[in-house]
Each structure stands twice: as structure tokens, then as C-alpha cells.
């Protein structure tokens, strides 16, 4: 993740560096429907494209539910790092504070460290009333945070789905014998590929009874074909399927790599200002200082929503951290807004700052005993 300026989406007015210590899983689901062809003047109740459209509607009507884990997860740590940001919504700030309080209460209620020293009657009271009440409070706090989150924050703690490709039909007067969609998923840290596949199989089994089609999932028939079957649905994945990756430690004795990187980031971007202001800002030939850069950068762990090549390194080291480094200028469109578009870019100032960052990182690593 890049250095996000205070004006960037999702920062709530704080300049934030978000090195990713965890990475979502990924699966591109391919759903293909085969039906009998023929002339369009004798159509069935639903063509393959019509059936596939029903599947898309069902998918988007039942997205994966977001789930919040404990406050020590990287996605929650990033939100907590922005608690005092000037644009943090009051409802979200209060919900996060309540989540922290509820977790402390739950930890105390379920602690077994001193359980043997407590009277039996207190152990009974704790297990019967205190612990369940603490669990209920914690779940309520999590739901409160979810309700107060922005769509962007909620996507980071959810398994996301996006129907990106739709193929079907070759001629306007011929019934399409085959139609296909591809759905991209980024699998949340508290989920896995098996859960995503089960979500699809449950949906297809439910719809098969209504629309009379058979289903094969990854080569395994889950709704057998009959003579009355009007269509057949095949589910498989396309390229780049990968489960969630192990989380890099960012606290405790094993977090030396994280501490080194955090220190270098703060050193490099502490007073991050462009070497040259945008031409539209200049009243004369001399560059001037941009006040919007005069704030220290915050460093917080994050979960990367995209997929990287770091899967090839997790068996070599426990310290895999993903960090783009390029800062987002407040007067340019931020990376999140233009990522994967024809106008994806960073400013010249950000590119120059990257040279400073990697120089500082190499110098610091040379003196650090990892």
C-alpha cells in the first residue's frame, strides 16, 4: 500500500502509511451454463443467458457477510490508528473504542490465569453469567463497528465478489447454447477458499430446484442430471487461485522487521513535501512549501486487498511485508481511485521520494541486527 495523504480516500484526514502484513486470498470463479440450442423463434422459458442472469442476481443479492475479528488484527489496527483523525466519523470512533473495551472485558472474563485461586462460587458465577455477558457485549461491539464502517473499510474485512466477465451468444436469431461468467473474489483473512466454494454450492443447489438444472462443482456432481434437466451448470476456477497467506508479526519480539520498516518510513516521510509544487500552484518560478504536507506520517499495519507475488516468499521468511512507498499528492487523484485504469500514475515527487526511502532503508538495514 502507498503513503496515503490526508485528502486521500479512507484516511479520514490523516497521512497514513499502511504496510501490509497480511494478504487476502483470491479465486476467480467460472460458472458456465449449457443448454440446448435452436432457432430463437422457439425459445425455452429461460435461455442460458437468462439463467446466468438469474445466477448473477442471486449472487449480488447475497454477498459474503463481513466479519470482524479481534482488535489486534491488521485491518482493525489501521482503523484504530486513525481514531483521532479529524474526519473520523464520531459513530465509528465510539464504536471502535467500545470494541477495545469489550475485548478487554472479554479477556478478563475468560482468563484462566488466576482461575484456580478464585472461590468455587465465583467460578460458577463467572461461567454462568459474567462470561456469557462479556461474549454478548463483544459481539454487539463488533456489529456496531460494522454498522459504522464506510464501504471501503467494510470491504477490507469481507470476502468481496465482483462479476467482471460475461460471455454468451454468437448470433441474434440463435439460442445461446453456452453462457459463462467469471467472478473475482478476494477472500477475507477470517475465511478461506473452502468457505467460498461452499457458498456457491449452496446457492446453486437452491436455484437448481427452481430452474431445473444440474450442477457440477470442480468435477464433482452436486445436483445430478436427469432427463428433465433443462440446463447444466459447471463451476470451476480460472487462474490465480490462492488461499489467504500467513500474517507477518508486527508486535512482540518477532516484529524486528516491522519496527525497522516503520522507523524508516517515519524518517523518510516525516515532513513529506513535494520538491516542486504543481505548476498551477506557482506564482513564480521558485517552488514553495505545501502546508498540507506539514504533518507526520502515521504507520499502521494493513491487510492487502490485492494479490502479489509474496506467496513465493512465505516459505523463506516470516517477515513478508508489502509496501508500495509511493506517496499520493493531495492535488492528484489517489492510487485507490485510479488503480487499474488507463490513468494509473504517481507524481514525479513521489517517484523521487521512493529513491530517498530505499536509500534510507538500505542504510538502516545495514546497521540493524535482524
Give this prediction's pTM.
0.80
Find the angle CA(145)-CA(148)-CA(154) to the nearest 5 degrees: 75
CA distance 244 to 26: 8
Helices 348-367/256-269 angle, 10° precision: 140
Q: Which residues pair with 243 in a beta bridge?
A: none
Fold of domain 25-64+159-237: Alpha-Beta Plaits (3.30.70)
Which residues is 217 bridged to in the sheet?
A: 220, 235
Q: Where are the domains of the chain?
A: 3-23+246-367, 25-64+159-237, 74-155
Show pLDDT as tens, one digit a residue, over the chain (370 residues): 666 766 667 788 888 888 999 999 999 999 999 999 999 999 999 999 999 999 999 999 999 999 887 777 888 888 998 998 889 999 999 999 999 999 888 876 556 555 666 677 666 666 766 778 888 999 999 999 999 999 988 998 999 999 999 999 999 999 999 999 999 999 999 899 999 999 999 999 999 999 999 999 999 999 998 887 889 999 999 878 999 888 999 998 999 999 999 999 988 877 544 433 333 333 444 444 444 444 578 899 998 888 788 888 988 999 999 987 765 444 443 455 567 778 877 777 777 888 888 999 999 998 876 5
Dihedral angle at the C-alpha atoms of 56, 61, 62, 63, nearest 10 degrees? Answer: 80
Angle at 266 between CA 264 and CA 269, to 5 degrees: 105
Amino acid at each position: 500500500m502507498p503513503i496515503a495523504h490526508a485528502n486521500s480516500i479512507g484516511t479520514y484526514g490523516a497521512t497514513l502509511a499502511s504496510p501490509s502484513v497480511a494478504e487476502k486470498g483470491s479465486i476467480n470463479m467460472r460458472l458456465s451454463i449449457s443448454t440446448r440450442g435452436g432457432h430463437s423463434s422457439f425459445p425455452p422459458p429461460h435461455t442460458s443467458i437468462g439463467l446466468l442472469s438469474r445466477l448473477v442476481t442471486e449472487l449480488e443479492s447475497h454477498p459474503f457477510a463481513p466479519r470482524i475479528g479481534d482488535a489486534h488484527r491488521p485491518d482493525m489496527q489501521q482503523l484504530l490508528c486513525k481514531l483521532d483523525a479529524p474526519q473520523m466519523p464520531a459513530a465509528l470512533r465510539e464504536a471502535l473504542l467500545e470494541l477495545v473495551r469489550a475485548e478487554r472485558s472479554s479477556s478478563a472474563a475468560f482468563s484462566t490465569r488466576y482461575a484456580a485461586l478464585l472461590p468455587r462460587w465465583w467460578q460458577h458465577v463467572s461461567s454462568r453469567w459474567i462470561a456469557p455477558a462479556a461474549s454478548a457485549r463483544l459481539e454487539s461491539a463488533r456489529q456496531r463497528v460494522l454498522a459504522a464502517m464506510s464501504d471501503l473499510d467494510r470491504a477490507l474485512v469481507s470476502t468481496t465478489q465482483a462479476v467482471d466477465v460475461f460471455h454468451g451468444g454468437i448470433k441474434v436469431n440463435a439460442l445461446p447454447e453456452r453462457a459463462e461468467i467469471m467472478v473475482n473474489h478476494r477472500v477475507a483473512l477470517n475465511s478461506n477458499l473452502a468457505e467460498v466454494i461452499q457458498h456457491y454450492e449452496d446457492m446453486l443447489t437452491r436455484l437448481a430446484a427452481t430452474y431445473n438444472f444440474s450442477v457440477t462443482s470442480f468435477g464433482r456432481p452436486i445436483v445430478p442430471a436427469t432427463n428433465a434437466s433443462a440446463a447444466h451448470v459447471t463451476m470451476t476456477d480460472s487462474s490465480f487461485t490462492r488461499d489467504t497467506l500467513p500474517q507477518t508479526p508486527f508486535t512482540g519480539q518477532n516484529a524486528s522487521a516491522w519496527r525497522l520498516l516503520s522507523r524508516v518510513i517515519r524518517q523518510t516521510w516525516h515532513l513529506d513535501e513535494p520538491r516542486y509544487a504543481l505548476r498551477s500552484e506557482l506564482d513564480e518560478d521558485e517552488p514553495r512549501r505545501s502546508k498540507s504536507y506539514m504533518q507526520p506520517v502515521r504507520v499502521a499495519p494493513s491487510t492487502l486487498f490485492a494479490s502479489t507475488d509474496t506467496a513465493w516468499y512465505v516459505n523463506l521468511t516470516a517477515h513478508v511485508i508489502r509496501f508500495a512507498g509511493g506517496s499520493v499528492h493531495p492535488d492528484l487523484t489517489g492510487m485507490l481511485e485510479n488503480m487499474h485504469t488507463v490513468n494509473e500514475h504517481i507524481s514525479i515527487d513521489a517517484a523521487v521520494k521512493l529513491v530517498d526511502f530505499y536509500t534510507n532503508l538500505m542504510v538502516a538495514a545495514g546497521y540493524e541486527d535482524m
